[in-house]
Every structure is written in structure tokens, then in C-alpha cells.
Amino acid sequence: MFAAVFAALYAAHEVGDHWAQTHAQACGKGAAGWSGRLMCGKHVAVLTVVKAAALMLAALVVDLPVNPLAVAAALAVDAVSHYWADRRTTLVALADWLGRTVVPGKGDFARLGAPRPDRDDNPTLGTGAYALDQSWHIGWLFLAALLACLGAS
């Protein structure tokens, strides 16, 4: 069951985080204030719907004995962790802290490949920040998949 749930969450994450996210959400979700919070919230809401649909489809097709409460809790934990990371400054602050305390250079890695000020690039695509962002999400997908398997009948 875990393998099917994780595969569904991972596939849905890839689709929801890259295809279902609008350009405005991708560019605005890290902005300061309520506009950034709202863009990030919209992105995470759509992403969570995509993940719920994928889990529902997997549960129906492979006859998974899912517990709806465990799945709801798993999706909520995943959504909160995704929102936290996608506000951008939070994940960079974590990388900076790790770079000072545990893993030297992690903050520098978070800034690896950041665009130049004279270009209109999204600094989270194809950079150290993007790699840290995606690995953060996949780690939480693993925990969400474990949580979704609790209480399976």
C-alpha cells in the first residue's frame, strides 16, 4: 500500500507543482505580505486537489484499503510543509542555519545558480534553491505516504 500511495503522491506532486501551478503563482508565491501568501495558498490548494485526485484514483484502481481520515491528515501535513517551503525565505533561512551549524555551505548551495539582477528569471528554477525545494517536498511526501497508510482496513 505504501508504494502505491507514495507513487501516486509523487506523480501528482510533479504534475501539480509544475503543470498545474500558474505563472503568477510561481512568480508571486514568495512575495512579501498578503499577496505572496495568497498566491502560495492558491498554489498549494490546487496542488492538494491534484494529490487527492491521484490518491483517489490509485485507491480505486488498485483497491487500496485507505482510511479517509489518515489520507486527509496526510494531505494536510503535506500541504502545510509545501506552503512553508514555497514561501521561499523560510527554506533559504533553514539552509542558512544549517550552513552555519550542521552542513557547511548549505546556504551558499541555496543561492547556487541564482539569476543576475539584469535578467527576469525565476531564481528557483534549475538552481540550488530549486533542488532543495524539491527534495524538501519529496521528503514530506514520504512522511505523508506513511501517514496515509495508518489505519488502513
**Rounded average pLDDT per 10-residue block, the chain, 153 residues:** 96 96 93 95 98 97 95 98 93 92 88 67 69 94 96 77
Spatial distance between the Cα atoms of 103 and 101, rounded to a whole number of angstroms: 6
Spatial distance between the Cα atoms of 145 and 136, rounded to a whole number of angstroms: 14
Residue 25 resides in a domain = yes
Share of the chain above pLDDT 70, in %: 91
Contact between 95 and 107 under an 8 Å Cβ cutoff? The reply is: yes
pTM value is 0.87
Residue 45 resides in a domain = yes
Q: Where are the beta strands (DSSP E) in 20-83?
A: none
Residue 153 resides in a domain = no
Residue 89 resides in a domain = yes
**Structurally, how many domains does the chain consist of?**
1
Residue 108 resides in a domain = yes
Spatial distance between the Cα atoms of 17 and 26, rounded to a whole number of angstroms: 9
Which range marks the domain in which residue 73 is found?
2-148
Report pLDDT for 77: 98
| Per-residue cell: 137 | 517536498
Residue 95: CA atoms inside 13 Å, Cβ hemisphere, count? 22
Residue 13 resides in a domain = yes
